[in-house]
Amino acid sequence: MAKTPASGMTAGVLLQEVVQERIQCRANLLKKNAVDDASCELCRQSNEDCNHIIFTCPFAVQVWAHLGVDTTGGSVASLWTVPRPATVPPKHYDSFLLLTCWHTWKHRNEIVFNGAPPSLRRLLTACSQDAMLWSCRWPQSERMIADAWCRVFSQM
């Protein structure tokens, strides 16, 4: 699994932290008195909790909409119930969701900590690149699934 250099966090660990709503989002940091307010640094429209980062921040909404994934009413606690669009193969759909969450989180960190501008194209390119890497762990007969994902990620 890919790691975030600064934290050593893998996508699998992120998933566990997200589903349990324990990632270091501003809402959780506020509970620890580490920040003065929980406002999302990307949109300033809402408190930044796990659901906001992954599903309801306007940038996250844009990501999922581009992928054709309906996250209406979705929550990180029920991530696996997010309906699969017809353009994404059913096999490894859980990995597709994980990959998208992973890169949404990493992209948010690039913006917050490195001052990078939000870029849907940059996020989707990173998703495509990792999709190809992740597929190397699958049987040869399933690697065309990553090709299908890359087609979804590249539709701009």
Domain of 134, in residue numbers: 16-154
CB 85 within 8 Å of CB 65: no
Average pLDDT, rounded, for the chain: 85
Residue 45 has pLDDT above 60, yes or no: yes
Residue 145: inside a domain: yes
Residue 95: inside a domain: yes
Q: Which tokens is 49 given?
A: 């909790």
Q: One-letter amino acid identity for 80?
A: W
Residue 5 has a CB neighbour count (10 Å cut-off) of 6
CB 18 within 8 Å of CB 74: no
Residue 2: inside a domain: no
Residue 105: inside a domain: yes
Q: What is the model's pLDDT at position 153?
A: 95
